[in-house]
Structures are given as C-alpha cells and as structure tokens.
Amino acid sequence: MPKLMKEVIASVPLLLTVAAIAPSYAIANTATTPENKDLQSLQAITVTATPESADPSLAKNKAASLGPLGERKLQDTPYSVHVMSNDVITEQQMTSLKDILSYFPSVQGTGVRPQSRGMQGSVVQNSLLDGLNIVSTTEYPAEQFENVQVLNGLAGSLFGPANPAGMFNFVSKRPAANMQGRVTTGVRTGTAYFNSLDIGGPIGFDDRLQTRLTVLDEHGDSYGAESKKRRQFVGLATDFHFNENTVLESNFSYYNYLLKGNPANFALAPGVSFPSGLNPKHSHYGQDFAGDNDTTYTGSVHLKHTFDNDWKLHLGFLRQIADRESTAVTNTLLNNQGDYISTVSNTTASRFTISSYLADVNGTVWTKDWRHDLTLGYRGFDWKNYNPIDGTKTTLGTGSLSHPSEFDKPDFPDFTHRYHSATSTQNAFVLGDTLTFNPQWSMMLTGSQNYLNTSNYAKTGKQTSDSSDSGFSKSVSLIYKPVDILTLYTTYADSLQQGDTAPSGANNQGSILSPYRSEQYEVGAKVAVNHLNLSLAAFQIKRPYAYVQTNGDFAEEGEQRNRGLEFVADGNLTDDLRIFGGVTYLDPKLRNSANSATENKQIVGLPKMSANMLVEYQLPWVSGLGMNMNVHYTGRRPTANDNSSWVGSYSTVDLGTSYQMPLAQTQLTWRVGVTNVTNRRYWDNIVPGALTGYTGTGSASAQMGAPRMAYASLQVDF
C-alpha cells in the first residue's frame, strides 16, 4: 500500500498544473450534471424550482431506453430493468463491464458472455451499444459509458431473436452543452499506472456542434506473479444539432486490452472435483505468454428527430471490428490429488465483424379515452467470424497444484492469417402498443417477426452448413397502479432464438440446430419513494437444452427451467446514504433429460442464492468526505451434471473512501479503496464444459477469484 500512495503522490504535480490552467475553460456556465454537481458551490448560480413531474432525481422519473419503445420510466415498465449510473461507476473506480455487471444481483457477468437469471447469453444478440448489437466476447472499458442498463429475462419481442439471458445496453457518454473536463491519475495493485482525460463541449456552428473526447492509458502488472496488463482507449463523441428537434450523434472508439500471466482457467476430468480456493498469486498457475490481446474498433451514427406532434424517429447504424489473440491456457485437473495437464487452444475466432442497424418510429394517438403509445421498428445485424487458418490445440505438459510447472512458449499461429468461418444475419420487424385505459390500468402488447440465417464455412471456402428460419416473438403485459408510487405488473413472453452450433468433438460438429423457442412468466411490483426505487419480481423461464450426448451427437434433449425471485433497491435512503443492490433466489433445473442421473438436477455453475449490496455514505460532519462498502455473496454451485460435486459459497467485501475539495476553480477528488479486503480465495465463473450446456464427459471449468487488491487515484474536474 505505501508503494501505491507513493505513485499517487508522485502524480500530484501533474494535477496541480492542470488545476492552474483549468480556469481558462470558463466553468462559470458549466451545466448541472452528475459529473460536475460538486462544482456548483464555486460559482454564482440562480436556483429555480423544478416541477416534481420533471425532476429527474426523483425515483419515479428514473428512465431507461427500451429499444424501439424509446425511453420509458422504470416505474411504468412491466419488466425488471435496472440502471447503473456513471457516478457510481466512477466512485467505485470500475474498469470493465465485468466490474459493472458484478453489482447486479441477477446477473452472472464474470464470464465471456453476460447473462441474467442463469440463462447463457449469446455472442451478439444480448449485448447492445446505444441500442445497436455489438460483440460481447471482447473487452470494453468502463470509462466509455454514461450508464449501463440491464433488462432481465426475455425481450425478443422488442429486440429480435435472442437467448433468454436478458438485454444489456451500454450507453455511451455524450457531449455536454458547456465546456467541461476531467483528468484522473492513479495506480492499482501490481503497479498498474493509469491516466485518463475526459473533456468536451461546444466547438462551433453557434454551439450546435458539441464534442467529447475520452482518452485512457493504463499499463503495468496485474496480480498474477508473471502478469502484465495494458488498457488503451480513445473515444470521440459528437452531436450536431440541426435544430432543436433534430440531432446527429456519432461515436468512434479504439480500445486495446492486453492481460497475460494471470492464473489459467481450470477444468475437470470426469469424476474430479475442484479443491478449495487457491492462491491466485502463486507462480506458474498461469504462463507469462498466455492470455488475451484484444483490439476493438467501433463506429456508430444515430439520427434522432422529434416531430411537431411529439412523434419520434430514430435511425442508427454501427460497424465494429473486434480482433482477438487468445492464447489462454487451460489446466485440466486429472485427479483429486491436484495433478493437471496444461493445454492452449487457438482455434476460436480471431476476428469478429458486425454491422448492426435500426429504424424506430414511436408516438401517441388517442381512441376515445384510451391512449396508445405506438411503436414501429426494424432492427438487425450481419455478423461474421474469422478463424486463424493455422489454429491448433497444443499440449504444454503436466504439473500439480503443489508444484505448478513453467512451460516454454509454443509456436502460436499468425492470428491475422484468417479464413471466413461463419456468417449470421438477423432481422426483426417490431410492432408495439401500450394502451393506457385510465391512470390505474394499462396494457403493453409487443411482437416481432424474425428472420434468421446462419452459414458455416471450411478453410477452403466451401459452405459446410446453412440454416434459414423465421418466426414470431411476442409479449403481453398488464400493469396496475393502485397509487402513484406503486406499480404491479404481470408479463408473458415467448421468444425465438438461434439454435446452437454443434461444438468441436461432436459427431455432427458444425451443424446448426433448428431455432429454439423460450418462454417466460413474470409478476412484479415496483415502489418509487422520493429518491429510492424498490422492485420485486418472481419469474419462470424455460428454454430447450442441447448437449453432446453419450452417442457423440450434439442434439436438443430436455429443457432448462429456471424459477426465481429477485429484489433490487437503488437510490437514496437519506440525503447522505445511497444504496444499490439486492438479492436473487434461483432454482435452475434440467428437466426431461434422457439421462436419469441428471434429471431435475441443478444446472452446473449456478447458485441458488446470490446477493450484492453497495452502500455509499457522505459524512455530514466532514464536508466532502465519503465512505463506501460493497458486499457480494454467491452460494454454492454444482460442478457435475449429476450434482455429485460442488464448490462452496463465498463472500467478499470491498471498502473505499473519497475526499473532495475545491482548488482554484477546480474540484479535486481523492480516492483510495481495497477490494476483497479479507483476501478470500474462491472459484468464479463456473460453467459446463461447453457454453451450450452439458458435455458427454460432464466436465466443468472455472477461474480463480481475484485476490485482495488496492487502488488510489486523484481526479480533477474543471
């Protein structure tokens, strides 16, 4: 820890220099936003009353974007939807989407694909950037986003075919109406130094053109004994306001993420169990050459227009290229004495490209006394995979948990020497109507006609499989508001999703199964009191389940049925005390299985209980001083299909503090924090041997949980 503070103190001259020149940016007219609210005490301001119906800080006015429906108040939405704001992301010094999603109690976000309610997510169907589909199996910096919105459960009637894993919408930072900026510098465990700049405002055309530039550089070591880490991000957002009703938004970003030398993934041979949690700092559990080097280029444009009669038009297009150099090692435990064999595979995609698009029109009409909020939309994507031509699976050697082995670096393929391995195209026409009968009763009806096409190709360019299907997804909700602060709802949803592709090693490797149909029932209640949102939801989700069977064929056999109950609290209990988090009970079962040993058993890797609660407290007797604590709990999880072996539950505690002080028309914020303060050792991200579900061997894989880590930073707002 002293070394951390030494590095932060060494950065003070840089920040004081920024503080000295900051007044030239003329903050006197700075807009009131969550990012600069603390600056308001430094300038003369005029206070005017805000009508309660328009006050965005009130819980009942908190909103999220629901695809073609546009922005809707959470209180009026018959779905379980939750939003994490940028001020929470910043205060907790989060660095990745995995960090952010770990705070949502119904989300399993530590894997490569985010998912909620225990349903496996897809590579692109469940993840959105400003409403447009993106690749989820690459890295994104937390510093890129204004907020993160999570819709739990099925949403195919709104967004097109998708797994019943929820929808994850990552909202980009937008330019401000007035010039403002932020510089942050700091250090994390492993002597990873980070510096960032976030600056923007109007630059011309009578202030109609506004820009925002975000730059990030972090480099150094991670917690692994042989680790190295690098994060480099550049993002440019522009808004051009043609008039008060029309704006053209654009976003362009580059992100390089490198992490090597941290502990490898661990997998199980048949009949083997995971040991108790291991020390992730132990030498040679990972290899210094093994890990990920991801580079992602993303560009998007949005045209938004409001018509005079309050109808709205939204057109959007996104292009993304995600290059990946995956050299991760897997240590497969061969017995319960800790012996393992280490392998590295480079056969997965080294490049994803996606072009996604949307066109939405929504507005209001009346039929006698009934209000109709209508939606007409179209959205889709074209997604291509490219795999390394010379990709192979290499056996490095053997070792044991008590005496881990260091291996020589193997000959990796040229990851830029690729072949086109697959193309998936998806389109959906969306129609919706929210009928408001009176102030108490309303109904939401949504549906989408979906078209899917998937083709796979060999290295020679020959098409090896092709699948084209279509189908309809629907949802109906009934909403009742007995009083203004309380909303009760029930929702039925039926969604189409792309069938799984048979994995490597199956008899029918590469073949595409017919589309699945998932079904969900949900009832819920939402309460909005002053600045606090409370929500409670009970649900049941069913989806077909496919796995490699004992005869070697990959086929649908049985269904996954998840029942659960989730509670979430978000907002201020008092002026000084804020909370975000909740608890989820989940009963995930495999039913109608051909194997009696796995019938009605708990799904591998999923706990029955999980919880997370973040508490932030501003000390009223010391101006500017705040403290925060985050507590996370995950229940025990099965690691075998027949539930014959398990890993235990675990809990972690994070602590942090911050202090704000004015200096020469700037605001300084010092932050210090420690995650996993008890240095709890645990297994994380436990998944079946194949992401699609059970495998013929019944193996599972997992990652070591991160150890105790610390950070310290200094932020200057000007």
pLDDT tens readout for residues 43-81: 333 333 445 555 766 888 899 999 999 999 999 999 999
The ranges of the chain with pLDDT < 70 are 1-54, 56-57, 504-505, 510, 689-699
Q: Is 39 helix (H, G, I), strand (E, B) or coil?
A: helix
Q: Is 476 helix (H, G, I), strand (E, B) or coil?
A: strand
Residues 6+ apart with CB under 8 A from 216: 141, 143, 194, 195, 196, 231, 232, 233, 234
pLDDT per position as a tens digit, 254-308 = 999 999 999 999 999 988 999 999 999 998 999 999 999 999 999 999 999 999 8
Residues 591 and 603 sit within 8 Å (Cβ to Cβ): no
Give CA–CA dist 541/469, Å, rounded: 23
HSE, side-chain direction, 13 A CA sphere, residue 699: 18
> In the prediction, which pLDDT does 693 show?
42
For 644, the token pair is: 């014959």
The pTM for the full model equals 0.90
Residues 295 and 347 sit within 8 Å (Cβ to Cβ): no
> In the prediction, which pLDDT does 72 show?
95
Give CA–CA dist 482/485, Å, rounded: 9
Secondary element (H or E) of residue 157 = helix 156-159
Residues 218 and 59 sit within 8 Å (Cβ to Cβ): no
> In the prediction, which pLDDT does 29 show?
35
**b/e 486-499 (16+ beta carbons within 10 angstroms → b):** ebebebebbbbbbb
The DSSP result for 251-272, as a single string, is: EEEEEEEEEESSPPEEEE-TT-
Q: What separation in angstroms does the CA of 358 have from each of 251, 300, 361?
A: 16, 11, 10
Residues 422 and 384 sit within 8 Å (Cβ to Cβ): yes
In terms of Cα–Cα distance, which of 559, 563, 558, 482 is closest to 521?
Answer: 563
> In the prediction, which pLDDT does 46 show?
38
Give CA–CA dist 375/377, Å, rounded: 6
Number of CB atoms found within 10 A of residue 564's CB: 21
Name the residue with tokens 């008092």.
Answer: 574
> In the prediction, which pLDDT does 510 show?
67
> In the prediction, which pLDDT does 466 show?
87
The DSSP result for 218-248, as a single string, is: EEE--SSTT-EEEEEEEEEEEEEEEETTEEE
Q: Burial-class residue 468 by CB neighbours within 10 Å (0-12, 13-18, 19+).
A: exposed
Give CA–CA dist 35/33, Å, rounded: 5
Direct distance between the N- and C-terminal alpha carbons of the chain, in angstroms, rounded to an integer: 29
| Long-range Cβ contact pairs of 212-216 (< 8 A, separation 24 or more) | 212/173, 212/174, 212/175, 212/176, 212/236, 212/237, 212/238, 214/143, 214/144, 214/173, 216/141, 216/143
Domains of the chain: 2-251+263-318+334-374+386-391+418-717 (2.40.170.20)
Residue ranges of alpha helices (H) inside 300-353 are none
